[in-house]
Chains A and B, each alone.
Chain A
Amino acid sequence: QKEVEQNSGPLSVPEGAIASLNCTYSDRGSQSFFWYRQYSGKSPELIMFIYSNGDKEDGRFTAQLNKASQYVSLLIRDSQPSDSATYLCAVNRGSQGNLIFGKGTKLSVKP
């Protein structure tokens, strides 16, 4: 079983819609969860992190964590074409802060 799994997509949503990105992880001991956005040819950019069960909102982004189900998601409200990118889910491993990344979900927001 892969440590962090994401649907590779592409996920296509119309402009203004809600984009829902999902991620599952295998290590029940994981405590920290991150969403990164990566534009083509660029390095990842941290957009959200969540440590506790429940929802965390930041502007148009909401991260949701369910440790019992080993599931973390990212909702993007009022999606814009500029949100078109690959979204990487990352989960911490160990005490050194190492992150395990999923392969990413490619999101396409159509005008």
Chain B
Amino acid sequence: GAVVSQHPSWVICKSGTSVKIECRSLDFQATTMFWYRQFPKQSLMLMATSNEGSKATYEQGVEKDKFLINHASLTLSTLTVTSAHPEDSSFYICSASNREFPYEQYFGPGTRLTVT
């Protein structure tokens, strides 16, 4: 149980384009989903927290107009990196939790984004 998928697993895009990453909870209803970014040899950095049906809460320093998060259903959240630049190249990972166990986060496999 507690399986989270992400798509795509890797993506290469040109500078200035937008990229959408999907995060799905496959066998449970995810009331909360989290988006993280991880640069090489660094720890996870929480970007935003989203609850189903409401606006995401962004961490300080994360541009909400650049990183658009939608959590339209209990099993799907999307992160759109708009007008991507090379410095946005990173490993993006989502995680999900549910109401019964709100503190246990289960991670997706991650999406490696490379912006050229």
Contacts and interface: CB of A to CB of B under 8 A. Distances in A.
What size tier do the contact residues of chain A reach? 20 to 34
B8 to A, nearest CB: 14
B44 A46 contact: no
B107 A45 contact: yes
Given A42-B110, A43-B93, A97 B103 contact: yes
Contact of B43 (A34, A46, A98, A103): A103
Contact of B34 (A34, A92, A98, A104): A98
Contacts of A49: 103-104
Interface in A31-87: 31-32, 34, 36, 42-46, 49
A97 B108 contact: no
B69 to A, nearest CB: 14
Interface string B85-105: 000000001000100001111
A99 B103 contact: yes
Contacts of A90: 105
Nearest to B110: A43
B95 to A, nearest CB: 8
A43 B108 contact: yes
Contact of A99 (B42, B57, B93, B105): B105
Contacts of A42: 109-110
A101 B43 contact: yes
Nearest to A30: B103
A109 interface: no
B75 interface: no
A98 B107 contact: no
8 nearest CB pairs, A to B: A97-B102, A32-B103, A43-B110, A103-B43, A43-B107, A92-B103, A43-B93, A101-B44
